[in-house]
């Protein structure tokens, strides 16, 4: 199996910070996840009636929403790395090693 796959663990490794903001309406909470490279993604949760708002539930739902947005981002990043790797392999002249050195002559 290839190492080029997105896993929950790989996503968790990318997250360096999380913040939760309840909007003034008191019905919406936004989670911002900041990734290692400085990019951030946001997820949200909301209720119809302000009286039904529960902070802990809102945090979990908004976190999960933001977390799920990272899957395609890392998938794109990995696909790009795989593409570049394949291009590099195609560009290597025959008879060269992965490290770029020539094979020693046979004796």
Q: What is the pLDDT of residue 98?
A: 56
Asked if the structure places residue 1 within a domain, the reply is no
* Structural domains in the chain (count): 1
Asked if the structure places residue 35 within a domain, the reply is yes
Asked if the structure places residue 3 within a domain, the reply is no
Find the domain containing 43 and state its range: 8-83
Q: What is the pLDDT of residue 91?
A: 85
Interatomic CA distance for residues 45 and 68, integer angstroms: 13
Query: Mean pLDDT per segment of 10 residues, for the chain of length 107 residues?
Result: 81 97 97 97 97 96 98 91 88 64 60
Q: Which two tokens stand for residue 54?
A: 């529960």
Asked if the structure places residue 21 within a domain, the reply is yes
Asked if the structure places residue 99 within a domain, the reply is no
* Residue that the structure tokens 């360096």 belong to: 16
Helices first, then strands: H and E counts in the chain: 2, 3
Q: Which of 57, 63, 71, 25 is closest to 44 using CA atoms?
A: 63
Q: Could you tell me the pTM of the whole model?
A: 0.77
Asked if the structure places residue 36 within a domain, the reply is yes
Asked if the structure places residue 58 within a domain, the reply is yes
Asked if the structure places residue 96 within a domain, the reply is no
């Amino acid at each position: 199996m290839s190492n080029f796959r997105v896993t929950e663990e790989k996503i968790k490794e990318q997250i360096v910070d999380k913040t939760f903001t309840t909007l003034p309406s008191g019905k919406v909470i936004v989670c911002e996840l900041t990734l290692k490279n400085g990019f951030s993604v946001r997820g949200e949760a909301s209720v119809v009636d302000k009286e039904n708002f529960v902070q802990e539930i809102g945090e979990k739902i908004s976190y999960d929403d933001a977390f799920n947005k990272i899957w395609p981002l890392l998938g794109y990043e990995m696909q790009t790395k795989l593409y570049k790797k394949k291009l590099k392999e195609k560009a290597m002249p025959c008879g060269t090693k992965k490290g770029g050195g020539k094979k020693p002559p046979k004796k």
